[in-house]
Structure 1
C-alpha cells in the first residue's frame, strides 16, 4: 500500500493541500465538520506528516544557517555551542558552514543559503576591512530575499542588520593595563588577524592604556603574523629587537605557540616575559604555565545571536529597529602573568 500524503487526502476530499494541512493542525479556519472528517481519514490511513513538505507549504524550514570563518578557533566553537543549545530548545535545526577565511567560499555559501534553504542566517564574515565594500552587495541579497540576518564578532557598519559584538577596544585596554600594573613596560602585540577591525580595536585599546600609564608606544612592538609567515623567525626578530617583558597575543593558538617559542629561547614565563591571549579555551588551561586569557564569552554570544534571529524570524512583520549588542570581556588570570604590584 502506498504512503498516504497530503495531496492524496486533498484529492479524496476535493479540497486544496493547504486546507488539509490546516485541518490536520486543527485550524479554526476550517469548519469543525470537515476538520473531523479529514482527521479521521488521515488517522485511519496511518498518515504521518512530512515535516519538509509542511515547512515548504508554510514557507519556513525551522532551519538556521551559520557562517563562520574558522572552526579551529575555540571562540567560534563556543559560539556554535551557544547557538545550537538555544536553537534546539526552540525547535530549530542549524546548518554550519565553514568558509576557512575564504571570501569566495563565503559568497558561494550565502548564495546557497539565500535560495530558501534556511529561515535566517548568523554570520561572522571572512572579509577584511579592504574587502568588505565589494562584498556588501552579496550580503544584501539576503535582505532582498527577506531572510533575517544577525552578524556577530566580525561585523560591518555597511550592513543594516542586528549585530552582536565583543568590546574589543576595552579588551585590549584591560589586558594592557593589567600588564602594566604587574610591572611590565615593554609590551608587544602578536596579531594573526592584522587586517580585521577586531585587531585594530584591540590595538587601539592597548595604545590608550599605554598613554594613560605613561608608557611610550613603539610601532615595532606590533607584530603581524600572516598565513605564510614563520612564527619562530618572526619571534626571533622581536626578541632580538629589544628586551620584552610582556606579549599580548590576539588568539589562543598563537598564545600557546608564542609561549612555547619564548620558553625554548630560555625565557621564563612569567618571571621574564608575561603572556596574555584571547579566547578562554580548554588549551590555555592545560599548558604549563596555564595562560592568562581574555574571555569573550562565546557561548553567551551564540545564545544572544540566535535569540535575536529567531525573534526576527517569528516576528517578520515587526517594525523593531535593528540593534547592536556589545558584550564585555573578562580577564581570566592564571599563571602566565605576574601578580599585580
Structure 2
C-alpha cells in the first residue's frame, strides 16, 4: 500500500504542502477551523508523519528524551505520568530510558538520542553521576543547543532548567511536626547521601533540630551511601541500640525496615515510636501500619518539567529557570 504523504493531503485540499504541515503542527498562521479540518482528514486516511524527514528539514522531531535513574520507584512513575500528560497535550512524543543509576548508561543514552532523535531531555541524574561528579555529557548537550530540564536530582553547576522539591524545608517541617506531637528524641536514617536530595534532607533535619532547641544526638543519626535497593535492615538496625521516639527516613524502604525491627523488639507504632518517610508511594499505603509520608507531588513535577522544555523548544527561550514544588505531610497510622 502506498504511504500517504503531506503532498496527498495538500492535493486533496488544493493547498500547499507547507500549509498542511503548519495545520498539523497547530501553527497560529493557519485558522483553527482549517487546522481541525486538515487534521481530521489526516486521521481518516491514517496519515503518519515521517519524523526522520521532519528532523532533516526542521531540525525538530517533536520527541522528548526522558532519562530516569530506576524503574522501580513509584515517584519516578508519577513524574513520567505528568510528563506524558503535558507532552500528549502539546503534540509531543516521549522516549523513556532507564540509567539504572549508571553514569556510563546515562552518557550512552544521551549520546544516542542527541543525534537528531529527540529535541531535548528531561532527566533525573544517576547516583553514580553525582558520586563521581562527571557532568561533561550534560555540558555537551548544552553546547549543541539541546535543552535539558533536570528534576529532583539536579546538578547545581549545570546551566539548565530545573524542577525541584524543597527537600531541605520538607525535613525542617517533619521535625516541627514531630515536636508539635510531643516527640523528644527525633532520629534520622538517610540512604543515598551521594545524592543532592539526600544531603538536603539531612541538612534540613539538623536545621529543624536547631530551630526547636533539640540537641543533636549522633547516636540516632545514620547516613549511608547505600543505593536505594540495598539491605536497609542492616543499615537501620544500629539505631535501635539507642532510645528515640520519632524517626525521619529518607525513603520508604528505610522506614519499613525500621518498622519491621521495631515490631520485632516489641516497640509499638505509633504509641512508642512515630515514623515518617519521604516519597508518598505504594509501599506507604500498604505497609502495616500505613506509613506517614512527605508527598513530593511527582505528577506536578513532571507536568512542570515538560511545560518548561516544550515552551523553550517552541519559543526559542534562551534563559533558564528553577521551579520549586512544595511538599506536604500525608498523615497515616505510623505517627501520632
Normalised TM-score (structure 1): 0.83
Q: Residues 99 and 229 from structure 1, CA distance in 2 versus in 1: closer, same or farther, beyond 3 angstroms? A: closer
CA contact (8 A) 2:237 2:258 kept: no
Provide the rounded CA distance (Å) in 2 between the counterparts of 1:49 and 1:273.
59
Unmatched runs of 5 consecutive residues or more in structure 2: 10-14, 24-37
Q: Which has the larger radius of gyration?
A: 1
Q: How does 1:199-238 map to 2 (within 5 A)?
A: 199-225=198-224, 226-227=226-227, 230-238=231-239
Structure 1 window deviating more from structure 2 (246-255 vs 85-94): it is: 246-255
Q: How does 1:143-154 map to 2 (within 5 A)?
A: 143-154=142-153
> Is 1:82 matched with 2:82?
yes
Structure 1 window deviating more from structure 2 (285-294 vs 226-235): it is: 226-235
Provide the rounded CA distance (Å) in 1 between the counterparts of 2:310 and 2:301.
14
CA contact (8 A) 2:161 2:321 kept: yes
Please name the residue that 2:331 is paired with.
333
Provide the rounded CA distance (Å) in 2 between the counterparts of 1:278 and 1:96.
24
Q: How does 1:98-117 map to 2 (within 5 A)?
A: 98-117=98-117
Provide the rounded CA distance (Å) in 1 between the counterparts of 2:188 and 2:177.
14
Q: Residues 49 and 335 from structure 1, CA distance in 2 versus in 1: closer, same or farther, beyond 3 angstroms? A: closer
Structure 1 residue 186 displacement after superposition: 1.9
Structure 1 residue 221 displacement after superposition: 2.2
Q: Residues 331 and 21 from structure 1, CA distance in 2 versus in 1: closer, same or farther, beyond 3 angstroms? A: same
Please name the residue that 2:163 is paired with.
164
> Is 1:175 matched with 2:171?
no
Provide the rounded CA distance (Å) in 1 between the counterparts of 2:58 and 2:295.
41
Provide the rounded CA distance (Å) in 1 between the counterparts of 2:6 and 2:87.
28
Structure 1 residue 208 displacement after superposition: 1.3
Structure 1 window deviating more from structure 2 (71-80 vs 52-61): it is: 52-61
CA contact (8 A) 2:221 2:239 kept: no
Q: How does 1:10-89 map to 2 (within 5 A)?
A: 21-22=17-18, 24-25=20-21, 48=47, 50-56=49-55, 57-89=57-89
Please name the residue that 2:247 is paired with.
247
The alignment's C-alpha RMSD in Å is 2.8
Structure 1 residue 267 displacement after superposition: 1.2
Please name the residue that 2:297 is paired with.
297
Structure 1 residue 188 displacement after superposition: 1.6
Provide the rounded CA distance (Å) in 1 between the counterparts of 2:54 and 2:160.
25
Provide the rounded CA distance (Å) in 2 between the counterparts of 1:24 and 1:152.
36
Provide the rounded CA distance (Å) in 1 between the counterparts of 2:196 and 2:17.
49
Q: How does 1:237-276 map to 2 (within 5 A)?
A: 237-240=238-241, 242-276=242-276
CA deviations 1:49-85 (Å, max 9, x no partner) are 5432442232211110111112212111111111111
CA contact (8 A) 2:52 2:61 kept: no
Q: Residues 303 and 218 from structure 1, CA distance in 2 versus in 1: closer, same or farther, beyond 3 angstroms? A: same
Provide the rounded CA distance (Å) in 1 between the counterparts of 2:111 and 2:99.
13
- Out of 311, 321, 324, the position equivalent to 1:323 is 321
Normalised TM-score (structure 2): 0.84
Provide the rounded CA distance (Å) in 2 between the counterparts of 1:141 and 1:130.
19
Provide the rounded CA distance (Å) in 1 between the counterparts of 2:118 and 2:65.
6
Structure 1 window deviating more from structure 2 (267-276 vs 135-144): it is: 135-144
CA contact (8 A) 1:76 1:298 kept: yes
Unmatched runs of 5 consecutive residues or more in structure 1: 10-18, 28-38
Q: Residues 222 and 229 from structure 1, CA distance in 2 versus in 1: closer, same or farther, beyond 3 angstroms? A: farther
Equivalenced residue count is: 310
